[in-house]
Structure 1
């Protein structure tokens, strides 16, 4: 425990562990490629991939699934496989700044012009928790799930939620973050370009699959997004889930420098990552 503050005893959050990092972007479709590029040891994929094709979906579902679902399921599947865990028993936290902005634009424009032609499928996929719903159904997972949205601090908020659940319940949690481009009038109020998705499992104990540990705490005071170092990460910085990039870049580079991920203008999530052999 830390020193008492204002008559109360502050409890230091426990060290947690990261398993199975997964990453997808059109120019870096996979964690191995992303890790090399973030370490400035590899190049971007050319031509870029169009979108992932998650094999957990049947072919017809795969074609109908929106980009948000395809992204989320691709990295979630990769992270769980790399962690060696059972998806059916793994609670999860999914994060997206806005959900599917393309479908939201379609919904708004159709409702404004001709509501009678609104697509039931698109309506079904418009809800913010659509991706985690697909995941739960596809894996048969009955564990708790959560869908987090916090504008441009969505990954940090979801990581805090994941770490808190993991520490409180002493149970591993899958964390998935993803976002897609803003289109139509929504693009004038939010900036998001390209496709990007990230995932890993947070564990309360070290296992043979753990790649890093991290200490975490809330830090008051003015917040600022951590600087990115690699050209590959900087290229992706316009996606709404880009607040995940400092974490994944640090994992790739083995950095132990403190990371302060903004949660609000005057609050950050402070992380100390420690790579494991």
Structure 2
């Protein structure tokens, strides 16, 4: 292939503010220590987070998806040192809140007049990002992405493209919660897991890693398997588990230099990352 026909190499991008939450590792510091073999899993598991971004009344009414997403979003922004009101954001989830959708389907089938307006309000896929932009006063671009079991990779790819094209940081938030009822046949999601990070176009004092990225054709791509015992306990917990290899690499800085991380974007494409940690 001639140089004129070759696709341009995507620019190196940078990661700030990794954030992580699951009941057995409630926070990035807990997850980082566990992934490095320097900490144990939280026992008993933590209760769902209570994000301070929301007013008390909204905090009580917020479903698990919103509470989880806003918890890691706020942690990522605090760690990055950036103003949440100024940073474009992208939230990704396999299907949003399937538990609420199960409730709505059941109620509509049995007693439609009893449908809760609040639950209906929280059923839309962009509910979490809506709460975030309202709670933080963010007027920058916001988006909600869904790509079934490949939602984390699709979200990261979208955030990277947006960051590279606009040359500005993008907050990426990935979250999923357990399903229930007949919809469990749609998505096998058994627990709470959320992750977040800021993708930035330039290195700053808050940078934890740089990464090279590309889309690669693959007949049947599979996510890079996590190596630590702690991360392996979360394999299959919900579609955001695809992010485990990336966050494990961020935690195990000295052992992840240049090691390729494969994240399926579809049945025939994978997002390939190569990290160069700085901390």
- 2:241 maps to 242
Match of 2:250 in 1: 251
- The one of 160, 171, 175 equivalent to 1:174 is 171
Confirm whether residue 100 of structure 1 aligns to residue 102 of structure 2.
no
Alpha-carbon deviations, 1:163-187, whole Å to 9, x = none? 0000000000000000000100011
Between the aligned partners of 1:44 and 1:4, the Cα distance in structure 2 is 52
Q: TM-score, normalised by structure 1?
A: 0.97
- Map of 1:217 onto structure 2: 214
Secondary structure, in 3 states, of the residue corresponding to 2:46? coil
Q: How many Å separate the matches in 2 of 1:4 and 1:53?
A: 55
In structure 1, distance between residues paired with 2:82 and 2:187: 36
Q: Partner residue of 2:14? A: 17
2:68 and 2:110 map into 1 onto residues whose CA distance is: 30
Q: Give the Cα separation in 2 of the matches to 1:191 and 1:30.
A: 24
- Deviation string, structure 1 residues 193-240 (Cα, Å, up to 9, x no partner): 110110010000000000000000010122112111112111112212
**Per-residue CA shift, 1:71-123, capped at 9, x if unaligned?**
01100000001001011110001000010111010011111111100000000
Superposed CA RMSD in Å reads 1.1
Residue 115 of structure 1 pairs with residue 112 of structure 2 = yes
Aligned residues: 274
**Aligned counterpart, 1:192:** 189
- Indicate conservation of the 8 Å contact 2:20/2:26, yes or no: yes
**SS of equivalent residue, structure 1 residue 19:** strand
Indicate which of 140, 143, 154 corresponds to 2:140: 143
Once the two structures are TM-superposed, the CA of residue 21 in structure 1 deviates from its matched residue by 0.4
TM-score (normalizing by structure 2): 0.96
Q: List structure 1 runs of 4+ shifted beyond 2 angstroms.
A: none
Q: For 1:4 and 1:68, how far apart are their aligned partners in 2? A: 48
Change (3 A) 1:108 1:247: same
- 1:88 corresponding residue in structure 2: 85
SS in structure 2 opposite 1:62? Answer: helix
Distance 2:203 2:175 in 1: 26
Is 1:270 the equivalent of 2:272?
Answer: yes
Q: Deviation per CA, 1:219-272: give whole Å up to 9, x if none.
A: 012211211111211111221211111110111112121011111121100100
Compute the displacement of 1:141 (Å): 0.4
State the match for 2:59 in structure 1. Answer: 62
Aligned mates of 1:262, 1:141 — CA distance in 2: 30
Given that 2:152 and 2:239 are in contact with CA atoms closer than 8 Å, whether structure 1 keeps it comes out as no
Q: Is the 8 A contact 1:180 1:240 kept in 2?
A: no
